[in-house]
Structure 1
Amino acid sequence: MTSPTDLTTAQPVEAGTDDTPQAPAAAAAGAPRAGGGGTWHALRRDAGAMLSLGYVVLVTLAAVLAPVLTAVSGWTPYAFDQSAIDPNLGGMPIGPWGGVSAEHWLGVEPGSGRDIFARIVYGARVSMAIALSATALTTVLGVSLGLVAGYFGGRVDLVISRVMDFLMAFPALIFMIAVLSALPASNRSALLVVVISVFGWPYLARIVRGQTMSLAQREFVEAARAAGAGGTRIVFREILPNLRSTIIVMATLAVPGYIGTEAGLSFLGVGVVPPAPSWGQMIAASVKWYAVDPAYFVFPGACLFLLVLSFTVLGDRLRAVVDAQEGR
C-alpha cells in the first residue's frame, strides 16, 4: 500500500495578540484563513494538473452514470453474448482487437462474451467507491487521532504513537490477504474499506500529530488558552483549520494508493467477489488470454494505470502549490 509522503509543516495565519479587552475573544474565535482561489488559479496554469483532473472527472462521471452508459451501449456487465465468440477457437472473440465493434465498443471477454465496456464502467464504480470510502474513513481516523496525540501529549500520545508504529511496521498486504480470505464473501466491498483504512490512517495521523505539536506552541493558541478556551475548542477552532491544506493534499495522494490496493487484492482473488466487475479481477482473468487476445488486458490495464497516474500527478501538483504558498 502506498505511503503518502511527508509535507512541509503548515504555516498558520495567526490570530491577533492585542492586549485590549477585545483581544482574548478575537483570539478564541480563531484567525482568518485564506481561501482556495489562489490554489485553483495556480493549478489551472498547470497543463499536467488539468489533464489529470480531466481524466479523474471523466472516470468519476463514467462511474456515476454507469447504468445510463450501459443502457446506451445495450449491454450489462453480466450479460453473455455467445454470438460474439468463436467456440471452435476456445471462445476467442470474433473480430479484431478482441471483438471491438459498433455493438461492443471495447470488445468482449474471451470465453464468456461479456461486454468489456460495461464491465469497465461498473468496475470504475467499484474501484472509486472503495477508494474514496477508504480515503474518507482514513482521513477521519488519521486527523482525529493525530490531533488528540499531538495536542494532549503524555500517555495519550504514547499509546497512539505506539499503535501507529506497530501498524506501519506490520506486513499489511499479507495480513489483508489472510483476513479477507478467512472472512465471508458477503459485503466484501465494506470489508475492503475497513481493512484498507486500518492500515492507512497512521500515515496521515503521524503528519497531523507533528504539525499539531508545532501549532500548539504558537501565539494564537496561547491567546486562546488565556481567553479560557478549552482543549476541544482550541483543537477544532484554532488548530484544525490550519491543517486544511495538508489534509486535502494527503487525501488526494492517498486515493491512488487505495485504488491500487483494491485492484491488487482483487487480482489476487481476495478482493471484489465475481461476478461483480473489478479492474484488478479483469486483469487477473486476462493473463491466460494475453498471448492471443492482448486487448482484454490493455483496456482495463490502461484505465487503471491512467487513473492512478492522474491522481498521483494531481496530488503532487497540489502539494507543490500548497508548499509554495505556505513558503511565501
Structure 2
Amino acid sequence: MAVPSGLDLEAKTDLVGEERTGRASSPPGRHRGRLLRLLRSDVAVVLSAGYIAVVVLAAVFAPLLVRLSGWGPYEFDQAAIDPNLGGLPLGWGGGISAEHWLGVEPGSGRDVFARIVYGARVSMGVALAATALTTTTAVVMGLLAGFHGGVVDLVISRVMDFLMAFPALIFMIAVLSALPAENRQALLVLVISVFGWPYLARVVRGQTISLTQREFVEAARASGAGGFTIVFREVLPNLRSTLVVMTTLAVPGYIGTEAGLSFLGIGVIPPTPSWGQMIATSSSWYAVDPAYFFIPSACLFLLVFSFTVLGDRLRTLTDSGELR
C-alpha cells in the first residue's frame, strides 16, 4: 500500500499550531463543518457517499426490504425459470418483474434482489470488521514501536517485514481451505486482518517517531507527563488525518478481497449470499443471462469505486493541508 508523500508531518510547515499544543488549533466542530463543506462541493464525492449510504442502509434493513419484495434469499421460485432451457429465467432481463425486482438466479429461481441486499451485509460486514480490527492492531503496534523504540521497535518491525513479504493471498487460500465452514465470516475477518495491519502500522510508526521529536512532546515530558498521557493526548490526536485516509482507502481493498475469496469458493460458503459468489456462479450463464452477471458485478464495482473516490479525495485534502 503506497504511503502518500503529503502525509509526512515533518514536511508540513502549516502545523505550527499543532506543534505548540499537540492538537489541531481549530475546534472539532469547526473542523468537521469545514470538511463537510469541502466534500459537498465535489460532485463525485457526493455521489460516492450517496451510493455507500444506499448500500449500508440496504445491508442494515435487508430483512425489511426482503419482506417488502416478498422473496427471501433462500427461497426457490421454480415458476420463474424454464426447465426446458436448463433453468433459464423467464421474461426480460433475467426475469425482472414486479414480483422479482432484479430477476431470478438461473438454475435455482432464487430472487436476485434478496441475495444482493443480503450479500451487501456480507461484503460490508467483513470489510468494516476487518478494517476496525486492522486499524486497532496497527495503531497499537505502530505506537508501541514508534514511541518506545529499541527492542520493542526491532521486534515489531521484523514482524511487520515478515508479514508484508509473505504471499498473503496464497496463505489465505491455504488456511481458509483447511478450516471448517463454521463461522466463515469471522475467519475471513481474522485472516484478512493478520495480513492487513502491517501496512498501516508502518505508517503509524513513522509518524509517531516524527511526532515524538516535536517540541510539544518534549514540553509534555519536561512537565512530568507519563508515556500513556503523551501518547493519547499529544501523539494520537495528530494521527487522526492519517488514520481517516488510510482506513477509508483500506475498505475497498477488503471488499475486493472478500469477493475474490468467495469467487474462488473459499470465502463465504453457499447458500449464504455473497457478491463474489454470485459473480462466480454467473460466469457459466453470462452468455445467455448477462443480467445475472452484470447486477452483482456492477454493485461490487460501484462500491469499491465509491470508497476509492472518497479515500482519494480525503488524501488530497490531507496533502493540501485542508484536512488537519
- Correspondence for 2:40 among 37, 44, 54: 44
Report if the CA contact (8 A) 2:35-2:323 is conserved: no
Q: 1:225 maps to what in 2?
A: 221
Q: Does 1:14 align with 2:12?
A: no
In structure 2, what residue type is equivalent to 1:134? A
In structure 1, what residue type is equivalent to 2:18? E
In structure 2, what residue type is equivalent to 1:232? F
Q: Does 1:316 align with 2:320?
A: no
Equivalent position SS for 2:105: coil
How far has the Cα of 1:170 moved from its partner? 0.6
TM-score (structure 1 length as normaliser): 0.93
Q: 1:209 maps to what in 2?
A: 205
Q: 1:164 maps to what in 2?
A: 160
Q: 1:268 maps to what in 2?
A: 264
How far has the Cα of 1:198 moved from its partner? 0.4
C-alpha separation in 2, matches of 1:266 and 1:253: 21
How far has the Cα of 1:14 moved from its partner? 3.1
- Residues 163 and 122 of structure 1: CA distance in aligned 2, closer, same or farther (over 3 Å): same
Q: 1:188 maps to what in 2?
A: 184
- Residues 215 and 90 of structure 1: CA distance in aligned 2, closer, same or farther (over 3 Å): same
- Correspondence for 1:66 among 62, 69, 90: 62
- Correspondence for 1:247 among 243, 247, 252: 243
How far has the Cα of 1:31 moved from its partner? 3.8
In structure 2, what residue type is equivalent to 1:147? L
Q: 2:283 maps to what in 1?
A: 287
Q: Does 1:140 align with 2:144?
A: no
Corresponding pairs, count? 314
How far has the Cα of 1:32 moved from its partner? 4.8
How far has the Cα of 1:58 moved from its partner? 0.7
How far has the Cα of 1:37 moved from its partner? 2.2
In structure 1, what residue type is equivalent to 2:130? A
In structure 2, what residue type is equivalent to 1:45? S
C-alpha separation in 1, matches of 2:86 and 2:129: 40
C-alpha separation in 1, matches of 2:3 and 2:171: 23
In structure 1, what residue type is equivalent to 2:56? T
How far has the Cα of 1:290 moved from its partner? 1.0
C-alpha separation in 2, matches of 1:292 and 1:111: 12
Report if the CA contact (8 A) 2:126-2:189 is conserved: yes
Report if the CA contact (8 A) 1:39-1:322 is conserved: no
- RMSD over aligned Cα atoms: 1.5
How far has the Cα of 1:15 moved from its partner? 5.7
C-alpha separation in 2, matches of 1:52 and 1:131: 17
Q: Does 1:127 align with 2:131?
A: no
How far has the Cα of 1:291 moved from its partner? 0.9
Equivalent position SS for 2:321: helix
How far has the Cα of 1:41 moved from its partner? 1.4
Q: 1:21 maps to what in 2?
A: none
Equivalent position SS for 2:135: helix
Q: 1:236 maps to what in 2?
A: 232
- Correspondence for 2:294 among 281, 293, 298: 298
Which runs of 5 or more structure 1 residues have no equivalent in the other structure?
17-26
- Residues 175 and 255 of structure 1: CA distance in aligned 2, closer, same or farther (over 3 Å): same
Equivalent position SS for 1:36: helix
Which runs of 5 or more structure 2 residues have no equivalent in the other structure?
none
Q: 1:199 maps to what in 2?
A: 195
C-alpha separation in 2, matches of 1:218 and 1:198: 32
C-alpha separation in 2, matches of 1:128 and 1:255: 9
TM-score (structure 2 length as normaliser): 0.94
**CA shift digits 1:97-142 (9 cap, x unpaired):** 1111111011000010000000000000110000000000000001
How far has the Cα of 1:33 moved from its partner? 4.4
C-alpha separation in 1, matches of 2:52 and 2:202: 28
How far has the Cα of 1:5 moved from its partner? 3.7
Equivalent position SS for 2:283: helix
Report if the CA contact (8 A) 1:9-1:211 is conserved: yes
C-alpha separation in 2, matches of 1:43 and 1:57: 15
C-alpha separation in 1, matches of 2:240 and 2:310: 17
C-alpha separation in 1, matches of 2:23 and 2:279: 50
C-alpha separation in 1, matches of 2:4 and 2:317: 15
How far has the Cα of 1:219 moved from its partner? 0.3
How far has the Cα of 1:325 moved from its partner? 2.1
- Residues 273 and 33 of structure 1: CA distance in aligned 2, closer, same or farther (over 3 Å): farther
How far has the Cα of 1:319 moved from its partner? 1.0
Give 4+ residue runs of structure 1 displaced > 4 Å after superposition: none
